[in-house]
Amino acid sequence: MTTEKKIICIICPQGCNITVKGDAEKGTIDSIEGYTCKRGLAYAENEFTHPLRILTSSVKTEGSSAPLVPVRTRTAIPKELLFKGMDEIRNITVKGKVTCGDVIVANFLGTGVDLIATGSVEAI
Amino acid sequence: MKKTDIVIIGAGAVGSALARELAKYKLDVTVVEKNEDLGGDSSKSNSAIIHTGYDAKPGTLESQLVVAANPMYDKLTKDLDIPFSRIGALLPAFTEEQFEQLPALKHKAMMNRVYDIEYLTGEQTLKMEPNLNPEVKGSLYIPRESIIDPFLLCIALAENAADNGVHFMLGTKCTGIKVEEGAVTTVQTTAGDIQTKYVINAAGLYCDEIAGYVGKADYYVTPRKGQFYILDKNTSCKVGMIILPIPTKITKGKLMCPTIHGNMLVGPTAEDMLDKQDKSTNAAGLESIATDVRKMIPNVNLRDTITQYSGLRAQRNPEGLNIDVYDDLKGYVNISGVRSTGLTGSVAIAKYVVDLMIEGGMKAEFKTNFNPIRKGTPIFAELSNEERAALIAKDPRYGNIICRCETVTEGQICDAIHRTLGARSVDGVKRRLRAGMGRCQGGFCGPRVIEILARELGIAPEEVRKNDPGSEMLTGKAR
Amino acid sequence: MSNKIYDVIIVGGGPAGLAAAVGAKKAGAKDVLIVERDISLGGILEQCIHPGFGLKTFGEELTGPEYARRYIKEVLDLGVEYKLETMVLEVGDHSVTGINSKDGLFIAEGKSIVLCMGCRERTRGAIMTPGTRPAGVYTAGAAQRLVNRQNMMVGKKVVILGSGDIGMIMARRMTLEGAKVLAVAELMDYTAGLTRNRVQCLEDFDIPLLLSHTVVEIKGNKRVEGVVIAEVDPATKKPIEGTEKLYECDTLLLSCGLIPENELSKASGIKLNRITSGPEVNQFMQTNKPSVFASGNVVHVNDLADNVSEESERAGKYAALYAAGKLTAGAEIPTVPGTNVRYICPQRVCPTEPATLFFRAAAPQKNVTVKVLAGEKEIFSKKLIKINPGEMEKVEVKPEQIAGATQITINVIAN
């Protein structure tokens, strides 16, 4: 079924209004209008067929210089997995030294995307 | 069962002053306070003025005690190491009608033995306070009207009392008083019974309820709410003295004055309430302050407000300060009708009550080792750079500033927690040191203060409270 | 403290201070010192664990701590000195007085100073929200620090007042961390923060956004028990009687605006702008005191850290040039906010050098033209589909365009 979806781009602060026409279920797109950059185009395509978001949070530490170390999915993951991702993140404890960029969980939730540290803590 | 000679109910200004006064004698004294911290209810939310009593009703006990109390504060505040300033008050008249009231007000002051009141012309008044409405026709100048930190007054009185042997039971509510054969014998509390010879009811807002326990509630107390604004220290329109309006029949009216810490205080309203716990502010009340105070100080900038609060005065019905002992109830002293002048009056009330008890036959021998001196936590913000450097050299925690707005250091916070009757909560720290009382209102230091309280008290951060049980700052750990 | 005289001393080690240090070093400053009050460099970025940083500066999307780390690495590689947990008490024309636990009280001397103190959040007291004063009322930033850095949950059922970016970001954060966000109430009839935050923080999680609404009462004596939200008249911003609705919650977060932190600037005699509440500067980010520069949110509240970095690198560069005696003063042209422009930063332009003028609209507007005038003469115009006060706009002006003009005006006019 062909539908039309109005999307506000979240890539940059400009917040372009993009209109996508196509069949979301089949994943086919007939037209995209209103984007002003390549990133915006890619965002609109995904947002129409399969919305993606970067998940950011923090994980508990043990024997480290701070109680938490911030983490993110390296790239965006399916939006519907955000809460499942949080359930996973709540159960993680890292120990000692963690360096920004370290992989905390490889292939997070089977998405093929790694969960990585976005900050550093020292071992104590 | 715990045994003591005297139980004081309430650790507000009156209770704390009584504790310190009684600490001068060889007596076992216990203070029971329902709140987790000192300062009671009314004593900590008021206009923070030490009055002269110039406008009291002449010939009353209130007039007698407030007038007597004022001169005591110079030495007392030195002994207790708390700030106090005799900045004086002005009572300006802006209309003919107000101007015509000045002679009567001056006469009333004379009747109250406040002889140092002076009449000033409009020009002289404006010279002293250039931000007053230039319409001012004349004023009364009352040089000994003064300002104080009401929290620190209560805290310092209580702390000094405790250091001289008085027991404080905080977070302990009096639930009943047992009378046997016409004499009080036991105070019942949420922390168990206390066997005692004397009970002093200094429960302020709740003194009628306590009096009810012994059948002496021939009056009742209603809360009279007063809302205030606190303005930023940098506000554009300031005054140097206490600017009082010409009083109306109902209230002394809304004033503006500096606080002892350099903010501007504007208020209060006077709203008769039913609920003794309702300390909420409301838009209508705050609006009325703006309208009224602008008549005196047209350029007051209430947009520079950093906080608003309200306090409850204990309005006795029928009116009047009453200190009662009873022939048919030995050992019981009832203090009621302590209202807006109570902060000032507290130290004289304490002396009066103790004298009354001794006259009534209480055996009271002076201690030889009473130490009237209390040394407060260093006020880092007010030290010279040399003094600061010396303090940091001695204790590096004084080099770690936690509250940026009021320049409060970690060293001070640790001292305030660990000293006698120390801070147990975020408000406790704030009231002792002003951390979180500045323009960011704890936005920056709040999270750090929680951490320090948890660490120093050996509790989990989620157990740290704003003040009383139920006011936990956090709801748990994120992980 | 040694007798060293620094070329540039920077007050604050957040996004502005870090970029200023990089700018100063790259412009040839030898000795650069950052004085930071927190336990680490990075400032507020350390608690901004969400993405959205770095697109402009690094061409990729980073979180706050990652963005900070890039600058911190550069600052360390360039050999910038820094002091942590150090509070600056006084700023002079060529000195900074500070204290910390290690050095005690010290005076550091510098040929130029850059003020990078950032901003603070508007509080409940400042916006005069009536009601009781229970635990559970936090500014969004304080809550963000507790949740993201200190591992503490501030509440379970949350109402947010104000639609600033931190407020919307905390709406998402609290939701992800397991709390229920009942609503975000905003006094104005548009969101204060970025559109993309409205989409990805509120709409993604079906969090109701109540425009033209405000909290009229806080309830609860010990912990927040609820807040009353009422609709406001869009014209007067006064609550409309009869529209009050109680939201039962344990927490109220405030995101009602940021205020540049200029207590030090004020005390040292720096001239502040009435609208921005920050120092008035020229395009070199130089204040009225030639040796004192300022950049980032202490000057005007920026929408993006990337913009803070850009203007701060510039501040650092010119502070270094000043220290080297290579920045000379000349006559300057004032910039004047015209139709639907709230403010322009810089407030003064030195006409011998090009300048980037950042500005914010006074109110949201669709299909507009931005016109820049040098005196009476139009020197630049561009069409925009929309303009929002939440997002900063910028235009460039060149020396030849503004030579001889008495003022530069920006107007935003409907097409």
Q: Which stretches of chain B drop beneath a pLDDT of 50?
A: none
Nearest to B82 by CA among B146, B156, B142: B156
Here the contacts of C85-89 (C-beta below 8 Å, separation 24 or greater) are: C85/B400, C85/C36, C85/C37, C85/C38, C85/C39, C86/C35, C86/C36, C86/C37, C87/B401, C87/B404, C87/B407, C87/C37, C88/C11, C88/C35, C88/C37, C88/C264, C89/B385, C89/B407
- Which pLDDT tens digit goes with each residue over B136-176? 999 999 999 999 999 999 999 999 999 999 999 999 999 99
A41 lies in the same domain as A61: no
Question: What is the CATH number for B400?
Answer: 1.10.10
CATH code of the region C1-120+258-329: 3.50.50.60
B277 lies in the same domain as B418: no
Q: What pLDDT does B45 receive?
A: 86
Q: With 70 as the cut, is the pLDDT of residue C169 above it?
A: yes
C49/A60 touch (CB, cutoff 8 Å), yes or no? no
Residues of C in contact with A46 (CB under 8 A): none
Q: Would you say residue A9 lies in a domain?
A: yes
Q: What pLDDT does B251 receive?
A: 67
Strands (E), C140-232: 152-153, 157-161, 180-186, 209-211, 213-219, 226-231
A94 lies in the same domain as A41: no
Measured from the Cβ of residue A27, the count of other Cβ atoms closer than 10 Å reads: 11
CATH code of the region C123-256: 3.50.50.60
What is the model's pTM? 0.94
Burial class (CB in 10 A: 0-12, 13-18, 19+), C330: exposed
Name the 3-class secondary structure at B291: helix
- Chain C within 8 Å of B290 (Cβ-Cβ)? no
Token readout for C159 is: 């109402």
| The total number of structural domains that make up chain B | 3
In chain C, what percentage of residues exceed pLDDT 90? 95
- Which pLDDT tens digit goes with each residue over C108-127? 999 999 999 999 999 999 99
Q: What pLDDT does A27 receive?
A: 82
Q: Would you say residue A124 lies in a domain?
A: no
Asked whether this chain's domains C1-120+258-329 and C123-256 adopt the same fold, the reply is yes
A73 lies in the same domain as A110: yes
Give the number of residues written for chain C: 415
Q: What pLDDT does B250 receive?
A: 64
Q: Would you say residue A44 lies in a domain?
A: yes
Give the residue from chain B lying closest to A88, CA to CA: B479
Q: What pLDDT does C391 receive?
A: 86
Q: What pLDDT does C3 receive?
A: 75
Name the 3-class secondary structure at C313: helix
B231 lies in the same domain as B300: yes
d(CA C214, CA C208): 13
Structural domain boundaries, residue B97: 85-144+222-314
Question: C96, C106, C123, C298: which to substitute to probe chain B, counting the most B Cβ within 10 Å?
Answer: C123
Q: How many CB pairs under 8 A join A and C?
A: 77
* C259: β partners: C120
- Chain B within 8 Å of A68 (Cβ-Cβ)? yes
At which residue do the structure tokens 């129409």 appear? A48
Chains that touch B (3 or more CB pairs under 8 A): A, C
Measured between CB atoms, which of B286, B397, B399 is closest to C128?
B286
Token readout for A89 is: 């993140």
Nearest-10 crossing angle of helices B13-22, B342-359: 40
Q: Would you say residue A19 lies in a domain?
A: yes
d(CA B263, CA B406): 11
From the centroid of its chain, how far is CA C399? 28
Q: With 60 as the cut, is the pLDDT of residue C1 above it?
A: no
| The total number of structural domains that make up chain A | 2
Domain residues of chain C, as ranges?
1-120+258-329, 123-256, 332-415
B468/C123 touch (CB, cutoff 8 Å), yes or no? no
Q: What pLDDT does B247 receive?
A: 84
In chain C, what percentage of residues exceed pLDDT 70? 100
Nearest to B193 by CA among B207, B180, B208, B209: B180
- Which pLDDT tens digit goes with each residue over B151-160? 999 999 999 9
Q: What pLDDT does C311 receive?
A: 95
Last residue of a domain, one of B314, B332, B367: B314
- Residue B167 annotated as catalytic: no
A60 lies in the same domain as A36: no
Residues of C in contact with A66 (CB under 8 A): 149
B213 lies in the same domain as B329: yes
B430 lies in the same domain as B454: yes
A29 lies in the same domain as A65: no
Last residue of a domain, one of B260, B294, B314: B314
Token readout for C27 is: 């412009």
Q: Would you say residue A122 lies in a domain?
A: no
d(CA B45, CA B376): 21
Structural domain boundaries, residue A78: 56-117
CATH code of the region C332-415: 2.60.40
Chains that touch C (3 or more CB pairs under 8 A): A, B
A43 lies in the same domain as A60: no
Nearest to C288 by CA among C299, C297, C296: C299
- Confidence band for C2, pLDDT divided at 50, 70 and 90: low
Question: B36, B400, B449, B453: which to substitute to probe chain C, counting the most C Cβ within 10 Å?
Answer: B400
- For B221, C13, C284, the CA distances from A81, given in Å and listed in that order, are 60, 36, 47
In chain B, what percentage of residues exceed pLDDT 70? 100
A33 lies in the same domain as A84: no
Average pLDDT value over all residues in chain C: 95
Question: What is the CATH number for B331?
Answer: 3.50.50.60
A113 lies in the same domain as A82: yes
Q: What pLDDT does C330 receive?
A: 86
Question: What is the CATH number for A65?
Answer: 3.10.530.10
Contact B1, B158 (CB under 8 A): no
Question: What is the CATH number for B239?
Answer: 3.30.9.10
Name the strand (E) or helix (H) holding A57: strand A56-62
